[in-house]
Structure 1
Amino acid sequence: MQTLRGTKLAIFLGLLPALIIYLGIAIVPIGLSLYYSLMNWNGIGSMTFAGLDNYVKILGDSTFWLSVKNNIIIMVTGLIGQIPLGLLLALLLNRGLRGSGLFRTIGFMPVVISSVMVSLIWGMVYNTEYGMLNNLLGMVGLDSWKQNWLGDSTWSMLSISIAYIWQNCGLYMVIFLAALQNIPDEVNEAAELDGATGLKRTMRITIPMIRGTIMVGVVYSISNSFRVFDLIQILTGGGPAHQTEVMTIYMYNSAFLNMRYGYGSAVSILVLLFSLIVITLINRVGREKDA
């Protein structure tokens, strides 16, 4: 009995530093944001209690709902683009073809370079005057297809979504590749003996065996889509006319540009709630399919 208590104490003491760090960087900031969201505060003067007034104003603001719509666009395009493309690249690299190590490094490179650099690269690609995309269209005689890709509300969110997919696709490629390489060789050998090869083996054996990893990728992609900020802030600043503004930029503008820290904190709480609701729904759907 004494040994068991000593073991539990040792485990607790081992976890304590990580627990303290987690409380300091996650739980405490959330608690402070919740507290500030109930206040009117400009960051300098005294706070006054506002209750739920900030939340009422946010939910009545059409710009906020436009930012929610843009977040949903980023989330959906991220899921449609990043997960299947990352899985496809992982399946190709898992075949052990010559040069796969080099391609893996190239594919993962956008993940490790800074978002500022990614934004500058795609800003040059989309530039109206000297951008690579418009220049290529002109070279092949498609001048009528040239667009102000970031300044036209028709194309701006699509253009940002493509840059977002390019930036993060390599991460899911590496995650799925690691899962594929952990599939026992005996499984693939048994599948070949049963006549399951190529696409049939991939769809009926390989993908089901890494389904848990794919769900992790889906959850992370959703979570990441609600945190996107710097890419859009540098490319468009949320413009034109709020057409590319997402909730994090709406929160930033409210808190730091308009000096409404209580209002901005309320937005941050709503961002957290939205992401938790969507992730919970995805997890529930995944559990129902497993059942």
Structure 2
Amino acid sequence: MSGKSNKLSPYLFTAPAVLIFAFVVLVPVLMTFVFSFYDWNGIGAMTFTGFDNYIRAFHDRIYISSYGHTLIYIVATVFVEVLVGLGLAGLITMGRKGSGLFRLAFFVPVMLPMIVISYLWKFVYNSDFGIVNMLLDTIGLESWTRVWLGNPDTALYAICIVSGWVYAGFYMTIFYSGIQRISKEVYESAYLDGAGERHIFFKIKIPMIRNLVETGILLCVLTGFQAFDLFYVMTNGGPYNSTEIVTTYLVKVVFTHMSIGYGSALAVIMTIVIAVIGLVTGKLTKKDSDALEY
């Protein structure tokens, strides 16, 4: 009897976690997939429509363009978050005085709520009394002033800069931790060979934390599809849908237009896109690792 109870005990201990995971994740995912085949406003009767919602999605100009905006956002944030974070990590690992304060200053935005940051930067970009336009006026560049968040040509890039300001410190901390694990003997050998800080950064630090850099890029890509609060607060997809991304459009479809079925279909498509990107990136990363080992 005791032997049988010992065999069941692992399942009993894991059962609560499995049930919670099923209730919070698996059931909503399954129900979303089911709803995607219906026309339903969340209140009235459900009408089975088959693949009509999916066909409608591929003819939805705003939804298709939202992927383009998301792609631009991801590419921009790879530069202003990952690459800038990598550069900052290289600077603070040079051993100069004040690097601790420098590191803290760049990490502070990560700890602030995104809602607070969004409203803060809305004031910074304000066309009447914002810091950006005031600074341009002060240095004699009045012609460069813009309605930054109200101009379709600049709104998306303005948001990308805010995202970079927030998360560059996050990636800086990750890369800084990786660089700190490099043996000091490697640096000493490089110094003896006459290498400068620039050569050490590009020839030693970056190659030895390559896996972290690849992970950072993958994380930046996947989290780019999860962006919401920054776009929702700063522009809510405007002006003229120029900053509409997948998540903000999903919220409008479901909660504004009350189209649960169509919104579910959009969510399923987005999930498939993210899964494919993750699988492809994982395979490419694995091939690179195998090639290096070979």
Give yes or no for TM over 0.5. Answer: yes
Going from structure 1 to structure 2, the CA distance change for 1:193 and 1:158 (only over 3 Å counts) comes to: same
What residue in structure 2 maps to residue 166 of structure 1?
A: 165
Going from structure 1 to structure 2, the CA distance change for 1:49 and 1:67 (only over 3 Å counts) comes to: same
Structure 1 stretches lacking a partner, 5+ long: none
1:28 counterpart = 2:4: no
What residue in structure 1 maps to residue 64 of structure 2?
A: 65
Question: Which aligned pairs between 1:215-254 and structure 2 lie closer than 5 A?
Answer: 215-254=214-253
Going from structure 1 to structure 2, the CA distance change for 1:125 and 1:249 (only over 3 Å counts) comes to: same
Contact 2:94 2:197 in 1 (8 A): no
What residue in structure 1 maps to residue 264 of structure 2?
A: 265
Q: Report which stretch shifted further, 241-250 or 47-56.
A: 47-56
Letter in 2 for 1:235: M
Once the two structures are TM-superposed, the CA of residue 18 in structure 1 deviates from its matched residue by: 4.9
Contact 1:251 1:264 in 2 (8 A): yes
Q: RMSD across aligned C-alpha pairs, in angstroms?
A: 2.4
Q: Report which stretch shifted further, 277-286 or 119-128.
A: 277-286
Q: Report which stretch shifted further, 109-118 or 275-284.
A: 275-284
Counting aligned pairs with the same residue, the percent is: 35
Question: Which aligned pairs between 1:163-242 and structure 2 lie closer than 5 A?
Answer: 163-242=162-241
Count how many residue pairs are aligned between Structure 1 and Structure 2: 288
Output one character per residue of 1:247-268: Cα deviation in whole Å (capped at 9) or x when no partner.
0011000000000011111111
What residue in structure 2 maps to residue 42 of structure 1?
A: 41
Q: Distance in 1 between matches of 2:28 and 2:221?
A: 21
Contact 2:39 2:46 in 1 (8 A): yes
Look up the SS of the partner of 1:232 in the other structure: helix
Q: Distance in 1 between matches of 2:23 and 2:183?
A: 41
Q: Distance in 1 between matches of 2:18 and 2:268?
A: 22
Once the two structures are TM-superposed, the CA of residue 176 in structure 1 deviates from its matched residue by: 1.0
Going from structure 1 to structure 2, the CA distance change for 1:276 and 1:185 (only over 3 Å counts) comes to: same
Once the two structures are TM-superposed, the CA of residue 142 in structure 1 deviates from its matched residue by: 1.4
Contact 1:64 1:250 in 2 (8 A): yes
1:82 counterpart = 2:75: no
Q: Distance in 2 between matches of 1:75 and 1:249?
A: 16
**Runs (4+) of structure 1 moved beyond 6 Å?**
8-14
What residue in structure 2 maps to residue 106 of structure 1?
A: 105
Q: Distance in 2 between matches of 1:188 and 1:24?
A: 52
Output one character per residue of 1:133-183: Cα deviation in whole Å (capped at 9) or x when no partner.
111111112111111111111111111111111121111111111111122
Letter in 1 for 2:109: P
Q: Report which stretch shifted further, 88-97 or 67-76.
A: 88-97
Q: Distance in 2 between matches of 1:26 and 1:183?
A: 39
Q: Distance in 1 between matches of 2:29 and 2:207?
A: 37
Structure 2 stretches lacking a partner, 5+ long: none
